[in-house]
Chain A
């Protein structure tokens, strides 16, 4: 593992809007009382804050603790001092060697950077799925003239997709399409870089996150789209 200087997390994690530094922690444990997994496999928000304040960054980063947290923010919502617990956990995640990030989080980011979506779905498969599900919608009463729009220049709204809708939940692609059709919304999806979610948020990887957000800006510019629908 790369050497991590003590105090890296507390000095680099963004503060909350109140601007209170982590050192203000009173070790009161209110965070731990609010967290549903306190006590599970050594997880405890209060102890995580102590580790960070004691400069035990390497120990925290090498543990699985940062990945057990759901970043839900219930701990810091309850924190009487307004400490940036969630940002510190995310910063710890960002210090983990990328090949040591557990599960699919970083693999998804890598796939997204390479292929334009977190599951590495080839373009022709994407188009096939969209057209196939689009045909099903057009066989429904009231939606006979529905055609799923892809790469439509000058559209009013950009609609990106959560990868699982194109993967295992094809049946859930149709809901927004039906709403858009009923509302006469001039929307479009894109054939490339259609991914709507950004796992750089979860992996603590700002650089990849910025690139993936940048693709949405490019879509808006390239296709002269007027509005964006936040995918999540």
Chain B
């Protein structure tokens, strides 16, 4: 989001010369164009998807489009049993590690913040959490370990890579 908003603000001519893609755009294109094939039997467990603020509310605000549908479409292509946390989408809770807070010494506040995400996860009882954001990945992992919950956290592109059918 930083790069995209910076390009729009200071280098608007960039978009007349180049095309730019989010992680979702690329995955959707590769799947739709048949450039990658995913093994639908790879993930049978219950996978919960977490909406990062930057791809949701913040993208909606800055770019007029929140990436809510795309990740869910991607999951639907190869994961039968994926679920939403509640509330999700624009009303979802931040993981607690946004805004660079993982780089600050205020760990206690960050842990307190994350309790909301942990409560959401507890209600759904998933076998895995999938995120498309490096900060959310780190923070949710940390929060789950603080609450002694042994649920793996993976990147969206990580499970896509694991499900790749390669010749």
Contact = CB atoms under 8 A, between A and B. Distances in A.
Given A73-B61, A74-B93, A210 B166 contact: no
Interface residues of A, number: 64
Contacts of A226: 18-19
Contacts of A178: 161, 164
Interface residues of B, number: 59
B151 interface: no
Given A73-B61, A213-B6, A232-B2, A67 B106 contact: yes
B155 A175 contact: yes
Contacts of A37: 109, 112-113
A174 interface: yes
Contacts of A72: 53, 57, 93-94, 98-99
Interface in B9-25: 9-11, 14, 17-23
Contact of A213 (B10, B133, B138, B167): B10
B134 A230 contact: no
A48 interface: no
Given A36-B93, A70-B97, A73-B57, A232 B3 contact: yes
A200 interface: yes
B145 interface: no
A182 interface: yes
Interface of A: 16-17, 36-37, 40-41, 43, 64, 67-74, 77, 102-105, 108, 141-143, 157, 160, 162, 164-165, 172, 174-176, 178-179, 182-185, 196-203, 209-210, 212-214, 216-217, 220, 225-232
10 contacts: A40-B112, A165-B134, A175-B155, A175-B158, A199-B2, A202-B99, A202-B100, A228-B21, A232-B1, A232-B2
